[in-house]
Chains A and B, each alone.
Chain A
């Protein structure tokens, strides 16, 4: 009976669909929620559904978390990569890890914004559905192994973000920020497509693993093609262990120099001169992703967009969306194009250091809280980029650790900003807060001000909190790989940026004024989640190995070749 059922299941669901089950689940729930709510609200106007709908979406996302955790493929993905949908989707440990955290944090986000939507006058249910669309795009981006799928996922998520930015139609700031976001997003998409067309034109492929194999062609690939033309690459792991046990995975360029073989035309049909165009295409794609990350020369949109759009949208832009872009960067640079690291690490280091510079010095004179946090997020992206630019395992590991810690702490800060509702009557409520609005919060709401100051200490990198370890971890791979100048410069700039984080705490605790602003208390559900997040900031300092080990496993599994299952290029800097 069970056997029959299993067989029938295989008839209905093909095996490759198992790799995208969370995405299927979220897609179906989007369609279901859309239809049901449209039917409910069809005849009754003015129905306030947003709290119920947002809790329903949080439930959906937590169930997707459960799906990801309980997947049997997850445990397999630490030692092998599973490709599906004609190699467009990759299911490895990086994908499952980031998809889990993405679903988890967006579920928390939905719980946080549930009550404040009514106060912000964002009562229509389309808002929440569009956010779920964007989460779907980000999830697909995490597991895409293909330039075209990456582009489509970026478009799916960012088209939703443009609508979210301009969702408050009555406010001209919101509409303006939506248009700004749209135009910069269009420029970024154009860069991405131009770069992809360069790469496709000169390599003939859009698949990341093809790029990897192109730069890592070794002698047994040639042997396999020559001796067993019908079989292709498939059993070559056998050959690697038996015939060529020394496994020279020298890079493509070195192979030609050393062995003076002429099979490059047979295998790939072109010579090495064309590789410059691939590098230019890669650079264009990197620029488009840096625009999405709001790294420093490309960050100017983020200040206006974060300030102008409604606060609940801004939280989503600042907290959730960056993780998937980081995953795409890791896949492109540390997997597909790792062999041309001399080309791209310059961009990562220079743009990273410049982002830290701009984020540190731009926030000094800023008094608007949302713009201040936008500068802060720019400098955080700079730390992540310099960790990636050190081109080591540890760099990828530390970038992921930094990203998770950034998501926890910035979710705390932004949600506290969202929770603070002014207790005034008959005055048009000001949505955007300035630095002075937080004065005397220690008297009106002691735990909330404590939480905000702890988070600020963590972001600034003061030792008993996990932000210290995150920053330490970023500088570590740079110093391992002897990039002393970027490390030194970013340490100096991070000292400068500590000023405005500490100034916020000074405003909270030591402001010499007698009349402060009174805020509504927050309810118990949010208090519990917020205190768990704050606890995580302290707990992860005491026990950081949880995060370090998970990210270390991921960075090791990045280089598993899905075809040969051989792990690493030979010249990889293991333990320098």
Chain B
């Protein structure tokens, strides 16, 4: 009951955000709505008790990819093109594609997700699994147990690979040109007085 209400709220918000990604004119706004999409879909995953996947959604999609997109958009500084004028032209062909994609999708859903036809009847056993409620192990915990017991060596090697990549990237992207490095020399700073500063403005 409670979970269903939350599901309806989050999924309607998700659909709203997805709609706004397309409609909003400024790319930064549409990107913010995309972030909203990711967040609401991760809420939905939380409701389905896939905690690990939900956390991954937030960490990877919101934390890395969306922010990367945001940087790219802000760097590129594209002028917002008015797309809404042409929108009416594309509606018929878009509608055709919509139909073509929707029919197989609905077919698949109706084939593979059969609802229990006794679900609404009196005989349906609506019991609460108290054992799971009290003594449940979350998704993340299970992954942690498996990773640290069976896949210790793999985990360590992955971490070591990251160290290697860190060293390599720092070397390859740094240029050690000494002339470009701005250094702080304390003696120079201490020997400065007001005459240095004002001399420049006097034009000497």
Contacts and interface: CB of A to CB of B under 8 A. Distances in A.
15 contacts: A45-B178, A86-B151, A88-B151, A89-B153, A126-B168, A126-B171, A130-B164, A148-B154, A149-B153, A152-B158, A152-B161, A153-B157, A155-B161, A156-B161, A167-B172
A527 interface: no
A86 B150 contact: yes
Contacts of B164: 130, 133, 156, 159-160, 163
Given A152-B158, A152-B161, 13 more contacts: A27-B160, A85-B153, A88-B151, A124-B171, A126-B168, A130-B164, A133-B164, A148-B151, A152-B154, A166-B172, A167-B172, A169-B172, A169-B175
B137 interface: no
Interface of A: 20, 27, 34, 45, 85-86, 88-89, 124, 126, 129-130, 133, 136, 140, 148-149, 152-153, 155-156, 159-160, 162-163, 166-167, 169
B168 A136 contact: no
B165 interface: yes
Contacts of B149: 86
A164 to B, nearest CB: 9
Nearest to A89: B153
A433 to B, nearest CB: 27
Contacts of A86: 149-151
Nearest to A149: B154
Contacts of B153: 20, 85, 88-89, 149
A279 to B, nearest CB: 26
B160 A156 contact: yes
A88 B167 contact: no
Contacts of B59: none
A1 to B, nearest CB: 32
B160 A130 contact: no
Contacts of A130: 164, 167-168
A149 B167 contact: no
Nearest to B153: A85
Nearest to A86: B150
Contacts of B157: 140, 149, 152-153, 156
Contacts of A88: 151, 153-154
The 5 A-B residue pairs with the shortest CB-CB distance, nearest first, are A163-B168, A86-B150, A133-B164, A152-B157, A85-B153
- The contact size tier of chain B is 10 to 19
A148 B165 CA distance: 19
B162 to A, nearest CB: 10
Contact of A126 (B150, B167, B178): B167
A554 B85 CA distance: 74
A85 B152 contact: yes
Nearest to B168: A163
Contacts of A152: 154, 157-158, 161
Contacts of A149: 153-154, 157
A169 B171 CA distance: 10
Nearest to B156: A27
A208 to B, nearest CB: 15
Contacts of B178: 45
A149 B171 CA distance: 27
Which of B152, B160, B164 counts the most A-chain CB atoms under 10 A from its CB?
A: B164
Contacts of A162: 168
A155 B154 CA distance: 12
Contacts of B151: 86, 88, 148
Contacts of B172: 163, 166-167, 169
Contacts of B150: 86
Nearest to B178: A45
Interface string B139-157: 0000000000111111001
Contacts of A163: 164, 168, 171-172
Which of B151, B152, B153, B158 counts the most A-chain CB atoms under 10 A from its CB?
A: B153
Contacts of B167: 34, 126, 129-130, 133
A152 B158 CA distance: 7
B70 to A, nearest CB: 26
Nearest to A85: B153
A42 B158 CA distance: 28
Contacts of A156: 157, 160-161, 164
A88 B157 CA distance: 13
A159 B160 contact: no
B169 to A, nearest CB: 8
A132 to B, nearest CB: 10
A88 B175 CA distance: 41
B160 to A, nearest CB: 7
A152 B165 CA distance: 13
Nearest to B155: A152
A368 B158 CA distance: 39
Contacts of A124: 171
Contacts of A85: 152-153
Contact of A136 (B152, B160, B171): B160
B154 A159 contact: no
B80 to A, nearest CB: 35
Nearest to B169: A163
Interface in B166-185: 167-168, 171-172, 175, 178
B174 to A, nearest CB: 9
A148 B164 CA distance: 19
B163 to A, nearest CB: 8
Nearest to A84: B153
A27 B157 CA distance: 10
B161 A159 contact: yes
A163 B149 CA distance: 32
A46 B24 CA distance: 55
A162 B151 CA distance: 26
A140 B157 CA distance: 9
A160 B168 contact: yes
Nearest to B171: A126
Contacts of A166: 172
A88 B153 CA distance: 8
A27 B164 CA distance: 12
Contacts of B161: 152, 155-156, 159
B94 to A, nearest CB: 33
A45 B179 CA distance: 13
A18 to B, nearest CB: 14
A126 B150 CA distance: 33
Nearest to A160: B164
A153 B156 CA distance: 11
Contacts of A169: 172, 175
A160 B157 CA distance: 13
